[in-house]
């Protein structure tokens, strides 16, 4: 889930506008064959290979491989078209799409790869150069480093295949997975590698039995920190995380696959699941609105499916629930990367209006339940829709978003091992950056203001690699979403809501800190006679029962959503909209 935190983390590597695209020819070659290109990401370069074939019926098909991350694993495209020199393909499984125009002079497709945000990707015919083969290191290696009193788990994944040896790094406590490893080398028993564009490095030795790599880790906040990476036993299979709350068939209610259009956007057609309680309707209903990032209808994250769990609970308690794939995800069409929170609010309204066309839904009892940014999107939608009967905010923001990001950065940064010195050094730059963007009168003006703030010295202060390619601006600051998000003040829209509001926050939420957030919501809604704000002790941003609230705990916790929190929501809705 690109939650509120991800917006800030991606921001650290975004610095200049994309170069102008050259004039493009319209006459494209037969695309059948192998095409490859490189994505410049904040963490490093990722090679992509696209394999295109044509069936007997003449239709195109394609598969995508990322040899840096998963060599030999090809993901089939959901669709692929070539028309007027424009190549378009989409892969629903990874919420990715591409649109490129043929450039005859350069003999390549030049365009944009979209996976919740946009990155430049040019595809040229042929396979990329294979990686060198590094003998004897294949497997999964696990260890941890200590930095500023915090333990960070690290997982090194090494695979050798037809295209050489590829390696990636996971940092579960930073919600980072598949970071590309550079320059993996072995000389006898000596092993080294780099990642995040050389800013971090491991140097060590392989044990005689080949079971451990012991050495030193160097990088920001660390200088030769000792670490031992232990290889998983041969043949070990990663155990799927236990998620006992995920609904399993048979279900005691009906599930209907539905789809509907958003009349405000011609290209947006939304697909979702409507769960209906047993018995005779019409039923009160809830529309679930996901948090930041291109999410599926279940808001799937780290094996958890919180929206499936919420829908299951509410439906068993007499409340119909509609949850839908975000635009451009799963069965829904549209371009998520080009959308602002206000655009996504029109999707939520389309979902609510779809429910109000049905005889089995109580049209006077359709409400919004929004999680994280979804709790910001709902009031935006309600400003244009007087038919919404209630609003449940699950860690939705009440404070201004620039202030929220600053407090979030300090809380989560400390839990990820960042020192107070590093946090203090970066904060003035972040404040200046947020002010510059927030004071701008347009997205374009905000970009120019950001470029003025992000001098080479400022980049060093916030810990961004000075050599970060200019293309990665499109990863965050270069989107209308970020400009709108950073400039948004929740108070005016919250103050306009006259229907019942339930606002919940966990006391261990490090992404939307509860005390200030709930106070801001209470103040903004003081003119509303039916507002309930509650801080739920011991719950994190995902409403799991947590130990510290750190993002690294999300995957470790078996609980997907606190049963106590589920009961609070269902009881609150039932009290107002279900006959007793």
DSSP string over 95-106: TEEEEEEEETTT
Q: What is the pLDDT of residue 19?
A: 32
In the predicted model, what is the mean pLDDT of the chain?
88
> How buried is residue 476: exposed, middle or buried, by Cβ count under 10 Å (0-12/13-18/19+)?
buried
Q: Is the pLDDT assigned to residue 18 strictly greater than 60? A: no
CATH 2.40.128.120 domain position(s) in the chain: 19-125
Mean pLDDT of 157-180: 88
In what helix (H) or strand (E) does residue 570 lie, and over which residues does it extend? helix 563-577
Q: Is the pLDDT assigned to residue 117 strictly greater than 80? A: no
* Distance in angstroms (rounded) separating the CA atoms of residues 206 and 187: 10
Stated pTM of the model: 0.85
> How buried is residue 359: exposed, middle or buried, by Cβ count under 10 Å (0-12/13-18/19+)?
exposed
Helix/strand/coil for 491 = helix
* Distance in angstroms (rounded) separating the CA atoms of residues 359 and 276: 12
Q: What is the pLDDT of residue 408?
A: 79
Q: What is the pLDDT of residue 469?
A: 52
Q: What is the pLDDT of residue 476?
A: 58
Q: Is the pLDDT assigned to residue 27 strictly greater than 90? A: no
Q: What is the pLDDT of residue 473?
A: 45
* Distance in angstroms (rounded) separating the CA atoms of residues 7 and 405: 9
**514 falls in which pLDDT band (50, 70, 90)?**
very high
Percent of the chain exceeding pLDDT 90 equals 62
Q: Is the pLDDT assigned to residue 13 strictly greater than 60? A: no
Contacts of residue 421, Cβ cutoff 8 Å, sequence gap at least 6: none
> How buried is residue 130: exposed, middle or buried, by Cβ count under 10 Å (0-12/13-18/19+)?
middle
Q: What is the pLDDT of residue 28?
A: 86
Q: Is the pLDDT assigned to residue 574 strictly greater than 70? A: yes
Closest by CA position to 269, among listed 259, 255, 278? 259
Let me know: does 447 contact 17? Beta carbons within 8 Å: yes
pLDDT: which is higher, 439 or 192? 192
Q: Is the pLDDT assigned to residue 48 strictly greater than 50? A: yes
Mean pLDDT of 527-537: 98
pLDDT: which is higher, 144 or 117? 144
Read off the pLDDT of residues 72-116 as tens digits, 9 standing for 90 and up: 889 999 999 999 999 999 998 888 899 999 999 999 999 999 886
Helix/strand/coil for 158 = strand
Q: Which two tokens stand for residue 543?
A: 């409403």
Q: What is the pLDDT of residue 524?
A: 98
Percent of the chain exceeding pLDDT 70 equals 91
* Distance in angstroms (rounded) separating the CA atoms of residues 346 and 363: 18
Let me know: does 7 contact 485? Beta carbons within 8 Å: yes
Contacts of residue 406, Cβ cutoff 8 Å, sequence gap at least 6: 427, 430, 431, 434
Q: Is the pLDDT assigned to residue 190 strictly greater than 70? A: yes
Q: Is the pLDDT assigned to residue 23 strictly greater than 60? A: no
Measured CA distances, 512 to 3, 165, 294, 407, 554 (Å): 10, 41, 19, 8, 15
Read off the pLDDT of residues 436-461 as tens digits, 9 standing for 90 and up: 877 777 777 777 777 788 777 777 77
Q: What is the pLDDT of residue 17?
A: 27
* Distance in angstroms (rounded) separating the CA atoms of residues 273 and 290: 14
Contacts of residue 358, Cβ cutoff 8 Å, sequence gap at least 6: none
Q: Which CATH number fits domain 255-400+490-577: 3.30.160.60, 1.10.3720.10, 3.40.50.1820, 3.30.420.40?
A: 3.40.50.1820
Measured CA distances, 220 to 75, 200, 201, 365, 465 (Å): 35, 7, 10, 52, 11
Closest by CA position to 270, among listed 185, 349, 217, 162? 349
Domain 19-125: give its CATH architecture: Beta Barrel (2.40)
Q: What is the pLDDT of residue 123?
A: 97
CATH 3.40.50.1820 domain position(s) in the chain: 255-400+490-577
Q: What is the pLDDT of residue 447?
A: 74
Q: What is the pLDDT of residue 240?
A: 86
Q: Is the pLDDT assigned to residue 177 strictly greater than 50? A: yes
* Alpha-carbon dihedral 38, 42, 43, 48, rounded to 10 degrees: -20
Q: Is the pLDDT assigned to residue 577 strictly greater than 70? A: yes
* Distance in angstroms (rounded) separating the CA atoms of residues 161 and 183: 17
Q: Is the pLDDT assigned to residue 118 strictly greater than 90? A: no
Closest by CA position to 157, among listed 144, 171, 146, 145? 171
Contacts of residue 502, Cβ cutoff 8 Å, sequence gap at least 6: 390, 391, 392, 393, 532, 534, 568, 569, 572
Q: Is the pLDDT assigned to residue 580 strictly greater than 70? A: no
Report the CATH fold assignment for 139-231. Porin (2.40.160)
Mean pLDDT of 4-13: 36
Read off the pLDDT of residues 305-346 as tens digits, 9 standing for 90 and up: 999 999 999 999 999 999 999 998 999 999 888 899 999 999
CATH 2.40.160.90 domain position(s) in the chain: 139-231
Q: What is the pLDDT of residue 147?
A: 81
pLDDT: which is higher, 161 or 532? 532
Q: What is the pLDDT of residue 236?
A: 78
Read off the pLDDT of residues 343-396 as tens digits, 9 standing for 90 and up: 999 999 999 999 999 999 999 999 999 999 999 999 999 999 999 999 999 999
Q: What is the pLDDT of residue 15?
A: 27
Q: What is the pLDDT of residue 316?
A: 98
Sheet holding 269-276, edge to edge: 254-261, 269-276, 320-324, 283-289, 361-371, 391-394, 501-506, 531-536
Measured CA distances, 336 to 46, 116, 117, 511 (Å): 22, 6, 8, 22
Read off the pLDDT of residues 452-503 as tens digits, 9 standing for 90 and up: 887 777 777 776 665 555 445 445 565 788 888 888 999 999 999 999 999 9
DSSP H stretches of helix in 194-250: none
């Amino acid at each position: 889930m690109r939650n509120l935190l991800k917006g800030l983390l991606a921001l650290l590597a975004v610095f200049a506008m994309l170069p102008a695209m050259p004039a493009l020819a319209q006459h494209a070659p037969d695309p059948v064959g192998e095409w490859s290109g490189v994505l410049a990401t904040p963490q490093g370069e990722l090679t992509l290979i696209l394999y295109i074939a044509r069936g007997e019926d003449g239709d195109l098909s394609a598969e995508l491989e990322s040899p840096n991350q998963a060599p030999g694993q090809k993901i089939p495209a959901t669709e692929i078209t070539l028309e007027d020199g424009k190549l378009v393909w989409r892969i629903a499984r990874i919420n990715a799409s591409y649109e490129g125009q043929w450039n005859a002079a350069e003999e390549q497709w030049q365009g944009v790869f979209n996976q919740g945000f946009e990155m430049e990707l040019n595809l040229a015919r042929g396979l990329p150069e294979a990686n060198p083969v590094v003998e004897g290191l294949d497997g999964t290696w696990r260890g941890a480093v200590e930095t500023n009193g915090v333990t960070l788990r690290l997982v090194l994944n090494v695979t050798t295949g037809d295209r050489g040896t590829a390696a990636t790094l996971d940092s579960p406590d930073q919600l980072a997975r598949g970071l590309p490893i550079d320059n993996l080398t072995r000389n006898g028993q000596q092993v080294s590698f780099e990642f995040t564009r050389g800013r971090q490095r491991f140097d060590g030795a392989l044990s005689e039995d080949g079971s451990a790599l012991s050495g030193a880790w160097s990088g920001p906040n660390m200088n030769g920190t000792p670490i031992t990476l232990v290889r998983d036993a041969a043949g070990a299979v990663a155990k799927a995380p236990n998620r006992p709350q995920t609904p399993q068939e048979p279900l005691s209610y009906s599930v209907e696959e539905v789809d509907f259009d958003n009349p405000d956007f011609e290209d947006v057609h939304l697909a979702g699941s409507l769960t209906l309680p047993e018995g005779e309707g019409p039923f009160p209903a809830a529309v679930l609105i996901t948090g930041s990032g291109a999410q599926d209808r279940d808001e799937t994250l780290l094996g958890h499916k919180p929206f499936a769990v919420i829908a299951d609970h509410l439906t068993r308690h007499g409340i119909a629930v509609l949850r839908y794939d975000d635009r451009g995800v799963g069965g829904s069409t549209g371009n998520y990367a080009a959308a602002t929170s206000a655009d996504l609010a029109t999707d939520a309204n389309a979902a609510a209006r779809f429910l109000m066309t049905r005889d089995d839904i109580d049209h006077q009892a359709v409400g919004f339940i929004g999680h994280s940014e979804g709790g910001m999107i709902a009031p935006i939608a309600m400003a244009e829709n007087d038919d919404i009967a209630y609003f449940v905010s699950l860690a939705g923001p009440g404070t201004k978003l620039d202030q929220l990001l600053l407090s979030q950065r300090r809380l989560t940064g400390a839990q990820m091992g960042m020192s107070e010195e590093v946090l203090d050094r970066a904060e003035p730059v972040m404040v200046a950056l947020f002010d510059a963007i927030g004071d701008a009168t347009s997205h374009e003006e905000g970009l120019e203001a950001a470029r003025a703030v992000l001098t080479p010295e400022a980049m060093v202060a916030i810990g961004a690699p000075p050599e970060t390619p200019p293309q990665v601006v499109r990863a965050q600051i270069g989107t209308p979403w970020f400009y709108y998000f950073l400039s948004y003040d929740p108070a005016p829209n919250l103050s306009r809501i006259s229907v019942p509001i339930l606002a919940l926050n966990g006391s261990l939420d490090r992404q939307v800190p509860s005390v200030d957030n709930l106070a801001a919501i209470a103040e903004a809604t003081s003119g509303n006679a039916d507002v309930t704000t509650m801080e739920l002790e011991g719950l994190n941003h995902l409403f799991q029962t947590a130990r510290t609230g750190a993002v690294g705990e999300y995957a470790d916790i078996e609980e997907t959503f606190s049963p106590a929190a589920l009961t609070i929501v269902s009881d609150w809705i039932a009290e107002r909209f279900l006959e007793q």
